[in-house]
Amino acid sequence: MKTASSLLQSIVFVATVVSAAPTLETSLFARQAISTLSTAQIASFKPFSFFASAAYCQPARTLAWSCGANCNANADFIPTASGGDGSSTQFWYVGFSPSQNSVIVAHQGTDTSKIQALLTDAEAVQGKLDASLFPGVPSAVTVHDGFRNDHAKTAPTILAAVQRTLSAHPASKQVTVVGHSLGAALALLDGIYLPLHISGVTFRTIGYGMPRVGNQDFANYVDSHISLTHINNREDFVPILPGRFLGYSHPAGEVHIQDSGAWTSCPDNTNSACTVGDVGNIFEGDAGDHSGPYDGVNMGC
């Protein structure tokens, strides 16, 4: 049986071999297409950064909404449900934010001290989505097996919690799903799953340090159906994993935090001025950038 350390080394080695280098397609148009976010636009993400960070806290703490700075930053939040064990099932919580007038769904990211969570990230084989959970999604769409299986463990429970929260706050017609790292991948799957079962509501997904989740058909489906922003910090290498050699592709919607601290909106998933240009392979990355800061917010409880 591999130790967590040796398994992580294996992931790094494989990722280095299969991670595609930035494309040579660095046209003037591609460089001009990026835009810089204003201070106000950056600030608008901060409440959601704290919501994503709070997902690393124990379920008892998020259910009581007593988790220190992460909870204090969104003090009016009203929790509905929480769960997970942080190992075989990532922590999650659902509730309502009056200040955002939105239901919030948040997923914990990878805790590398928990071997089962690490195994989920190592399991890079793709498979089809469960048609009972994702009715109508084209069969050509495939996703990371580990992410899919982890999502399925909590999907019905989270759906029920979202429905209860919407019923308790009928004036709100917005659901925002957030997460960091593995939690961002789970948030994206929820961003697809929940609208298939709840109508009359606007859904939005915000992910931080999100790995690639599925194939090009998956990315195309997301681009056509989902409001997604995925925020990548400086030289964080997690967003270039799993490698494109393995048939993975990011959807659109990247916001890249530059070394200068500027936030740039990237028009597609191959722009050389964004993550694939900043982090050509895992050795050009910096693991320390994965947790942040995201406008001053470092992920973790």
What CA–CA distance (Å, rounded) separates 19 from 244?
6
> Tell me, what's the pLDDT at 3?
34
Q: Can you give the residue ranges of every domain in the chain?
A: 33-289
Cβ–Cβ under 8 Å, residues 37 and 263: yes
> Tell me, what's the pLDDT at 280?
80
> Tell me, what's the pLDDT at 114?
59
The CATH topology of domain 33-289 is: Rossmann fold (3.40.50)
What CA–CA distance (Å, rounded) separates 265 from 273?
10
pTM, whole model, 2 decimals?
A: 0.88
What CA–CA distance (Å, rounded) separates 77 from 96?
6
- Please report, as a single letter, which amino acid is at residue 100: Q
Walk across the sheet containing 202-208 and list its strands. Answer: 35-36, 263-265, 254-257, 228-233, 202-208, 174-180, 102-107, 92-97, 78-83
Reading the block at residue 171, the tokens are 């004036």
> Tell me, what's the pLDDT at 118?
56
Digits of tens for pLDDT over the chain (301 positions)?
Answer: 333 333 333 344 344 444 433 333 333 334 447 889 999 999 999 999 999 999 999 999 999 999 999 999 999 999 999 999 998 899 999 999 999 999 999 999 986 555 455 555 677 899 999 999 999 999 999 999 999 999 999 999 999 999 999 999 999 999 999 999 999 999 999 999 999 999 999 999 999 999 999 999 999 999 999 999 999 999 998 999 888 888 999 999 999 999 999 999 997 766 777 877 778 888 888 888 999 999 999 999 9
> Tell me, what's the pLDDT at 165?
99
> Tell me, what's the pLDDT at 20?
38
What DSSP line would sit under the chain, residue for residue? ---HHHHHHHHHHHHHHHPPPPPS---HHHHHH-EEPPHHHHHHHHHHHHHHHHTTS-HHHHHHT--THHHHTTTT-EEEEEE--SSSS--EEEEEETTTTEEEEEE----TTSHHHHHHHH---EEEPPTTTSTT--TT-EEEHHHHHHHHHHHHHHHHHHHHHHHH-TT--EEEEEEETHHHHHHHHHHHHGGGT--S-EEEEEEESPPP-B-HHHHHHHHHH--EEEEEETT--GGG-S-GGGT-B--S-EEEE-TTS-EEE-SSTT-TTSHHHH-SSGGG--GGGTT--BTTBPS--
> Tell me, what's the pLDDT at 26?
35
